[in-house]
Each structure stands twice: as structure tokens, then as C-alpha cells.
Structure 1
Amino acid sequence: MSNDLTTKYDILTIKELKTIKDQLVSHNIPLFRVDKEKKIIPFPTEQLSLIIDNEKYSNLKLYIPKNFSVFIEEFKSITQADNSSNDSDTNQPYVFRTPKESEKEMGKRISEISKMTYKEKVSTIESYNTELKKIVVDEEVGINKHTAQQIVNVGNDVGLIAKVTMFESIQKIKGEEITQEQAKIENQEITETTTNLVTTIVDMLSKNTETQKVFDELRNYSDGGVMSHSNRVFISYVNFMAFYNNLINRRHLVHKIRTSYTNKYKKFYEQVEAMFSKDNIRKNLATVEDCIDKGIKIIEEREMNLYSVGALLHDIGKVKDLDYFEGANGRDYERIKKHLFNSYALVSQTSEYPLEVILTVALHHEYYGLGYGPYDHLYKLKLAKDPHFQIQRIMTYDAKAIDECEAFAYFPAKMLEIIDVYDALIDPARKYRGGKTFTPEEALNIMREDFVEKHVKLDPILYDVFVEFLSNSIEQDLMACKLL
């Protein structure tokens, strides 16, 4: 037990806990204690106030997973800065806010954006792009904390600008002030400048596949808000695609998948095909290429940029709180489903984003037919026109093939599903599965058991690539092994 504690956990004394109690509670940082049987068990942060000033517990020690220790140091430094009234410390890489503080801050910014002229919105995005282009990333060191925070701040604000602009346009459409086509024309500059900004960020991140770790640290400062979740998913998605391409360039991934396909993956695709047997998918699943149109291939630069725009906007229609994921009355599935259709409507009706962007947004909860989204509606329209229509294959890279229902899974959306689910599980401020904070290893186990083995929702090949991605670039000390 002692070895386990020292290798996986750091000790926090009562004295240390007293100085940072508020931050621990606000950010739902996982704490543990040792029980009478010498087993390590969770310690609820809300009980800190019961022990901190009680002499009976003066010698009590609590434990924190080592991957959270860096944040304890940040908490301490912030407390020290507050005590010395030094509020102008520009070297602090992170800004800590409780969910209520974050909601207030976001509401204030939305109000400010709502008062901006269209030209001012465009100019703001362009200035962000200019600032990011000036940053020189050391290819050996990668993205540092300060630059990472800059990218996060820019992503958050551009996401809000897009959200406000699209919402204003959809209200005008509903009020019959403008048509959808007029809205798309009016918003063309926002569409172009946002795409240009995303391209700049993709270029910065894809040059170094080890940059994910510094962004992963930001997750532990989560306020549970929609925009911070969307932005983390966007950044992780870009890094995941860059890692995926790197594996292909080294010819590592294609060889591994092909040699292990029959014994490891074929059974999952057979389950997917069986579920859609009513659609008469006539496909021999003997090879990877039979499952994935064109097999495992590189993601080209243009596609990576467009998919990334989709990732940035994927939850653009979501309400500002996440309580519906685990509220007092359980999971409100109708409310959950609604956010996807809201996002799809906003992006498709108010902007001229290419089909690749729209479908990445629309299908990131498709879950191989077990989720929700507009695909089922598109398919029923096809059947209404042609009762003998057949879906030709399982997954494709081709957006037009999805639009024509020639395949029912879109490759970039399947990648996005994985990032989205992982972030939901590991976000310490999110009310998911009873408010428990999962370690990377726990989250991956849940994803494998519930989303691959029990029901094939996530793509099994991309799931294993994601595990490889994490084990290489984020939590090397927490990952028991690489699965590829």
C-alpha cells in the first residue's frame, strides 16, 4: 500500500488543505484517504470544512493523484498572491473560476458581443489571427502554457462570437426578416475569418504532436461550462488528427490495423452491420477497406482544417449549462438531443460553411445508429423516394456520400465522438455519472466497456488509436499499456 501511495499519490496536510480549500471544492479536485483496512477511498471535498478546524483531525493526511499535483501548486501560488494583494501577476497561466463565476463572465461577454457591429466582430477575429501568427512555436519544446492559454482564450471568444452571430441570424430568419440565403451571405466574412483563424491554430498544433499534454492540464481547471468543454474538444481533436497522420506517415498505423483486423476488429463491424441489416448493407467485411471507404488514410490539410472548424462549432447550439447531463431527475435525453439539432440548424442555415463542417457538427452523436442526429431523417427521405435504396458501406471520408446516405458513419465525426465522450468523463467540474472525476485510465475503461464492447457506439479502430494518442502524449504515467 505504501508503495502504491507514493507512486500514484501525493500527500496533503491539514495545514495545506486549509489554505486552498475553496479552490479544491470549486474545482471538484479528487481527494482520497486511507481507511481502517488500509484501503484508499475517495474523500468528498464538501467535507473539508468539517475537518479543517477540528483538532481531532489535525494529523489527518489526504491524498491527491499525482497528475493533479501541478494544480495544487497553482492553487497555492494564487492564494499567496491574493494574500500579498498582488493581483497584477501576469505570469499566472490559468484563470480559476467557479461555475457561477464563469457563467457570469460568459454572460457579460455575450452581452458585449451582442452590442458589437458586424465589422467589429470580424475585426476581432482577424486581430486574434494576426496575434497567433506572430507566435513562434519551438518545435523541440512545443506549445508552452502561456501560448496554450492564449489559444484557449481565442477559441472561447471566437466560439462566443459565432454563437451570438448565428443566434441573431436564426432569430431574424424565424421572424421572416431575412431568408436563410440572405443570412449566409451576410455572415460570409465571419465564416471566412473563423476558418482562417482555425487554420492558423491547426498549423500551430500540428507541427508538434506532443503539445496535447499542456492542454490536457487545462481540463483540470474546468468550470464545467459549455464553451470551455467545446474548446478543449476542439484543441484535443486537432492534436488527435495530427497524431493520427503522424502514425500513418511512419507507416505504423496501417500495418498494425491490417494485421490485427481479422482477430480484433472484424467482430465489431459485423455487429454494426447486423444492427443495420434491415437496410440491406451488402458488404463483405473481410478487410479494413470493406469497413472504411478507402481504408486508413492520411487526412489532407484542407480536410483537417474543415473538420477542425466543425469541432470548434460542434456544440454551438447547446444551452449554457450542463446540468441536464446529471440533474436531480436523472438524464434529460430529450434536452440532450435538442442541442445537436440546434447546432446543426445554426451552422447549416446561417452560414456558408462547407458540407464537411456541417456534417462534422451534425453527426458527432451518431454512435453507429445508437445515438441521435439528422442522419435517420435523411435516410427516411431517401427511402421515401426509393423504397429499394441501399446503404453501400459503413464509414466514409466523403461528405457527399453521407449526404446521399451511401454510408452511415462519417470518419471525422467518429473521431470527434471519441474526444467528446472522453472530455465529458474526465472533466472534474462536469456533473457526469454522479459527479465523479475519472482518471484517464478509468475513462478509457468506461469507453471500451460501454461504448465498444457492450454496444458498438465508438469506432473500435479509432478508439485504439486514441488510446495510443493518450499513452504517447498525455498520461504516460497512468497508462498501463499501449493497445496498438
Structure 2
Amino acid sequence: MARKYISLDILDSLEKTQLDTITKNPIKILCKNFDTEEQEIKLLNELYKKNPNFWSDENNKWSYYINEKDIVDFKEGKEIEEDFYGFNEFYKEATQLSDEKRLEGLKDNKSRLKLLDLKRLKKDEEIGEALISSTNETIMLNKVIFDDLMKLTPEKAKIKSKKSVDETTEIVKIASNLLGDYSGDYSIFSELIKKSNGSTIKHMTRTFVMSLSFYKYYNKLLNNGYASKVRVNFVAKYRDKYEKLLPHEKNFHLITLERVFMGGMSTVSELESNAIGVGFLLHDIGKQVDLEYFEGSEGYIKDRIQAHVTNGFNELLKRTVYPPVVSAIAGFHHEYYGDDSGYGPLRDFIKRKFPEGTKCDHCISYSLKDVYNGNALCFFPAKLLEIVDVYDALTDPERKYREPLTPIAAIEFMRDVFIKEHVKVDPILFDMFELFLIDSGEI
């Protein structure tokens, strides 16, 4: 259910003892500056300590809003939950752990998944429970480790990252195997994820599991001859969309499937698949723990929110020994085919390398080298993740200022806004994603 925010003036209606109690709680409140349109999420107790009348101070240019549910829970005597700005309580606990204990946590997740993977007969519920709980903890531990690595020099950070990189990579590999054994509909994961705490961690977990599942489905479709079907329908169904992405091509009849996917559509090797899976897992690792990430015209702190992709890209590349594919996925999953609404380090890199512009001959490549050389607009796994990421944002029940869309409504919205109005996500991959949602029971 979407959160409803009401003016913090409601605190004036409380009795003094009630006011004293609620203002001691680290409740998140929305702060809006109508002069600058800046918006932030801060803690009630921290602002109250500095100024007990901050919400009614006439010299204050900010207005303040509180989640209506927090007020209702408080009046009914319920404990108000703190999810640490979208990350759960486990994050705070993990910051207090030693490096050895954090590594032990990753090893425990790996062992739990490995034991299940070796089990001959597995129930879908077992797989779902293990994947969600392990993914939650693995993301959290990686986030704490990642934040600590940023305090070190790149050289020391790379050395320190190696053990956690090895364990995380192995966890993703086993998770991928388990997803291959899963036979039920996808909705079981959605239900399990609801039990985890923190809006950000839920989003990262959902997106990882769905992206990895969609990626395996993509390979399955190609192995069953899907590329031939696309080629047959390419002119009637897709060419006009790709003409917008390759406008320098005067002879539009030359825009073929092989011009869209450099070298043609293909599956990806198992070795590359594992690195891609790690990229899906850590795609939002650059997010700040002191910031809520939600979209819409309200509550959108543009510069700080958009910085998470550049932060993830740079620091994964500079301070860990993950392969470049992982940092590229984290950095490029909001590029939107160069549309003005997109963002990320790739477009800045291309502008610096090709100040006079580049005329890419292809839309998507499976090789990072092609993207960096200006031969292709986008990196395949980032374009695949981009679709899942947008879909999850639209259907996420914890996004603010609007009701979540149903899966069918989300698909219709994406087709209208992200393909028909402006080609932001890839049309061919999008159609494959819709088939994935149908076959997996989402729609």
C-alpha cells in the first residue's frame, strides 16, 4: 500500500507526554523546500533535538510531512519500525562486525545454498526461501564491505576485497543453479520478499532474482529458435523503432537484426553468465544508506539519486577485483538509449572520448569493448537489467506518491512511455520480458 504523507503540524494536536514520546523516535519525515524544490528524508528525533519547534518556525523555509501510518501506529501503541532509510536493521548490525565475521556470513550463505543445491529432491518453497534469505544477507554484507572499502586507497581496497568477491561470486553461481531447478510460478518470490525489511533491500533482492530468471529465460528462448522469429517479423514490428536509434543510417533497409545486436542475437557462455549475475546482484550497491530512493515528480532528489550509478561503477571498478562487467552493469542500467531522462557514466565517457559525436552502427553488444569503442550504444546485460529495474519500480508497493501498478498495467505503461513515446528500453528484449512474465505466472 502506498504511503500517505500528512503535515507534521499534526504533532501540535498531541498532548505533551505524547509529543515527548514520539519525538524521541527516529521516524523518517519528508522535508520539502518550496523555494528550491529540494526534498530530503530526515529523522524526526534529530531535528527535534536541534529545535523543538522546527516545523512551526516562521523563519524556516522548509515544510515537513510524516507518514500517516506512523502517527496511527503511535496512537495505537504499536512499536514504530525503523528500517534505516530503506536498508534494514541487519545493515547496522553488520557495520559492527569484524571483517572475519562478515566473511563468515558470506560463507554461511554459500554453504546453505550449496547444501540445497546438492539435494536431489527439492521443493520450490525450499528454493524460494533459501534464495531470498541468502540474497538479502549477501547484498547487505556486500553493502557494508563496499562502504568500508571506499575509506581505503584503491590498492589496499582491491586486496581486501578479494575474499568477499570470491564468496559472492560463488553464491551467485549456486543461486543460478537453483533457479534452473525451480519449476513453480514466479509469484512465490514476490511473496517471500515482502517479509524482508527495508524498501531498498527489497528492490535489490526482487530485481536480482527476476533479472537472473529473465536472463535464463532469454537463453532458453534463443536455444528454441526465437532469433529466427524476430528476424521474420523484424521489418514489420521493429525496424521503425530502431531507425530512431540509428538516425545517421540513410538506407533504413540496411537496419537488420544483426545491426541491432552486434553479431546477431546469441546466448552467453556460463563463465560470462556468472559475472552478469553478480552485476545484477550488486547493481544498486552505490546507493547511499541515508537516502530513500523513490521516483516521481515529488520526492526526487535528482543529483543525489542519480549519483548511485556513477558511484557504483567507479568504486566497483577501482576498489574491488570484480570483473569490469560487474561495474558496467551497475553503472549503465539507467542509460535509456541516450534519452534525456536517462543518466549514468557511459554517456559522459562517450562524450569525452568522442567530443564531436559518434555514429554507432549497432544498438547492443555483448562485449564491453564494442561499447567503449563507440561501435555499439549499449551493453547487453545492462539493457536487460534496465527493463526489470523499471518494471520493479512501477510495481513496487513501497514507492511513494502513487499506487503501485499491476503487472499488466506496468507492461502497458512501459510500452507506451518507454517504447512508443521514446525508445528507452530495447523493444526486442521488452517483448521477451513480457513473454517471461506470462510464462512465469506474473501476468
- Scaled to the shorter chain, the TM-score interval is 0.7 to 0.9
**Residue 261 (structure 1) aligned with residue 230 (structure 2):** no
**Residue number in structure 1 paired with 2:346:** 375
Cα shift readout 1:272-301 (whole Å, capped 9, x = no counterpart): 112xx4xx8999643211111122211221
**Native 8 Å contact 1:383 1:389 kept in 2:** yes
Equivalent residue letter for 1:461: I
Counterpart of 1:289?
258
Counterpart position of 2:187: 213
- Partner residue of 1:229? 203
Q: State the TM-score, normalized to the length of structure 2.
A: 0.76
User: How many Å separate the matches in 1 of 2:141 and 2:297?
Assistant: 32
Which residue is 2:281 aligned to? Answer: 312
Partner of 1:15: none
Which among 462, 466, 471 is matched to residue 429 of structure 2? 462
Per-residue deviation at 1:259?
1.0
1:363 touches 1:375 (CA, 8 Å); kept in 2? yes
Letter in 2 for 1:249: N
Per the TM alignment, residue 166 of structure 1 is displaced from its structure 2 partner at its CA by: 1.4
Which of 296, 311, 333 aligns to 1:364? It is 333
| Cα distance in 2 for residues equivalent to 1:449 and 1:138 | 45
Given that 2:350 and 2:372 are in contact with CA atoms closer than 8 Å, whether structure 1 keeps it comes out as no
Looking at structure 1, the residues matched to 393 and 89 of structure 2 have their Cα atoms a distance apart, in angstroms, of 25
Q: Structure 1: how far apart are the matches of 2:111 and 2:137?
A: 15
The aligned runs of 1:49-64 (5 Å cut-off) are none
**Unmatched runs of 5 consecutive residues or more in structure 2:** 7-77
Conservation of the 8 A alpha-carbon contact between 1:241 and 1:299: no
Alpha-carbon separation, structure 2, partners of 1:257 and 1:122: 45
Compared CA separation, residues 379 and 427, structure 1 to 2 (3 A): same
The TM-score, its normalising length taken from structure 1, stands at: 0.70
Residue 212 and residue 139 in structure 1: after superposition, are their counterparts in 2 closer, same or farther (change >3 A)?
Answer: farther
Distance change in 2, residues 1:289/1:220 (3 Å): same
Match of 1:409 in 2: 378
Contact 2:87/2:197, CA 8 A, preserved across alignment: no
Computed over aligned residues only, the root mean square deviation of the Cα atoms, in angstroms, reads 3.0
Q: How many residues align?
A: 370
Matching of residues 29-428 of structure 1 within 5 Å: 100-103=81-84, 106=87, 108-136=89-117, 143-144=124-125, 146-172=126-152, 178=153, 180-208=154-182, 210=184, 212-218=186-192, 225-251=199-225, 253-274=226-247, 277=248, 285-320=254-289, 323=292, 325-326=294-295, 329-370=298-339, 371-383=342-354, 390-428=359-397
Alignment partner of 1:435: what SS? coil
Q: CA deviation at 1:149?
A: 2.4
CA distance in 2, matches of 1:140, 1:441: 34
Alpha-carbon distance change, 260 to 415 in structure 1, aligned in 2, over 3 angstroms: same
Q: Is the 8 A contact 2:243 2:252 kept in 1?
A: no
Give the match for residue 93 of structure 1: none
Write the deviation string for residues 437-458 of structure 1: whole angstroms up to 9, x where unpaired: 2111001011100001111000
Would you say the 8 A contact 2:365–2:379 is kept in 1?
A: yes
Q: Secondary structure at the match of 2:263?
A: coil
Letter in 2 for 1:333: K
Aligned residue identity for 1:254: A
User: Do the aligned partners of residues 362 and 105 (structure 1) sit closer, same or farther apart at CA in structure 2, a change above 3 Å counting?
Assistant: closer
Cα shift at 1:324: 5.0
Greater shift in the superposed pair: 133-142 or 420-429: 133-142
Q: Write out the 4+ residue segments of structure 1 that deviate beyond 4 Å after TM superposition.
A: 104-107, 136-142, 219-224, 280-285, 321-324, 326-330, 387-390
Instruction: Say whether the 8 Å CA contact 2:279–2:329 is kept in structure 1.
Output: yes
Post-superposition CA distance 1:415-441 (Å, at most 9, x none):
00011011111111222xx32121110
Contact 1:281 1:392 in 2 (8 A): no
Looking at structure 1, the residues matched to 114 and 121 of structure 2 have their Cα atoms a distance apart, in angstroms, of: 18
Distance 1:388 1:365, change over 3 A: closer
**CA contact 1:222–1:429 (8 Å) conserved in 2:** no
For 1:466 and 1:126, the matched residues in 2 are separated by 33
> Any idea what the Cα deviations from partners look like across 1:346-391, whole Å, max 9, x if unmatched?
311210111111111110001000111111221122225xx58653
1:187–1:137: structure 2 CA closer, same or farther, 3 Å change rule? closer
Quick one: distance in 2 between partners of 1:350 and 1:122? 17
Separation in 2, partners of 1:440, 1:397: 28
Q: Which amino acid aligns with 1:271?
A: K
Q: Does the CA-based 8 Å contact 2:84-2:198 persist in structure 1?
A: no
Secondary structure at 1:102 match in 2:
coil
Partner Cα distance (1:273, 1:395) in 2: 12
Q: Is the 8 A contact 1:362 1:374 kept in 2?
A: yes
Percent identity over paired residues: 31
